[in-house]
Amino acid sequence: MSFDSVRLITFDCYGTLIDWENGMLAALRPLFLPDGRKVADAQILELYGEIEAELESGPYLPYREILSRTAREIGRRLNTDISAEEARAFASSLTRWKPFMDTVAALQSMATRFQLGIISNVDDDLFAETRKKLAPVEFHFVVTAQQMQSYKPSFRNFEEAICRSGLTKDQILHAGPEPLP
């Protein structure tokens, strides 16, 4: 692929633009402290990744539900009762997760040369709150799991982005852990 042909950069949002790990850990850690036991961050993240992938590979569920179920299942595996209310609060915490320090400036710089897009495993309302933290950057389009009723790495999500862009695959660079189809 020649970078000279790139016209659009699409981004995975959480973990690429948004500090997913620190946001998640800040919301999950307190759930495991009431019994006086400290759970290692690495263990929480490992369990989170494993459980989330399992849930996303099944029938489509809204991402808020994925987040809630993941929190409760982590608790189950660590012998800590996570209430439905605590799990919902964890899901809502996503709206408070912050961009990496250099994200907005980097996006502003890239926007002078490229179109920018988002392809994210999230619900529309959750991303709407995150989008405010990325202002004043404008995205040419946003493709969410909710819109597609599927989670990346499903090709459907990437194919929709290609369709919305009006460009060819060789004109698009995706920044994130998933390859373009």
Q: Decide yes or no: CATH 3.30.70.20 for domain 3-18+98-175.
A: no
Q: Would you state the structure tokens that stand for residue 91, as one six-digit string?
A: 């899901």
Q: Would you state the structure tokens that stand for residue 70, as one six-digit string?
A: 């993941």
Region 102-128: what's the mean pLDDT? 97
The CATH 3.40.50.1000 portion of the chain extends over 3-18+98-175
In a 10 Å sphere around its CB, with 0-12 CB exposed, 13-18 middle and 19+ buried, how is residue 169 labelled? Answer: middle
pLDDT class for 91, splitting at 50, 70, 90? very high
Mean pLDDT of the chain: 92
Distances (CA, A) of 129 to 16, 78, 95, 132: 17, 31, 6, 6
Region 34-39: what's the mean pLDDT? 67
Predicted confidence at residue 181, as pLDDT, reads 45
Side-chain half-sphere exposure of 102, counting CA atoms within 13 A: 4
Asked if residue 180 has pLDDT above 60, the reply is: no
The CATH 1.10.150.750 portion of the chain extends over 20-96
Please give the radius of gyration of the chain, using alpha carbons only, rounded to the nearest integer.
17
Distances (CA, A) of 175 to 12, 53, 59, 81, 99: 6, 20, 26, 37, 15
CATH architecture of 20-96: Orthogonal Bundle (1.10)
Predicted confidence at residue 54, as pLDDT, reads 96
The catalytic residue positions are: 12
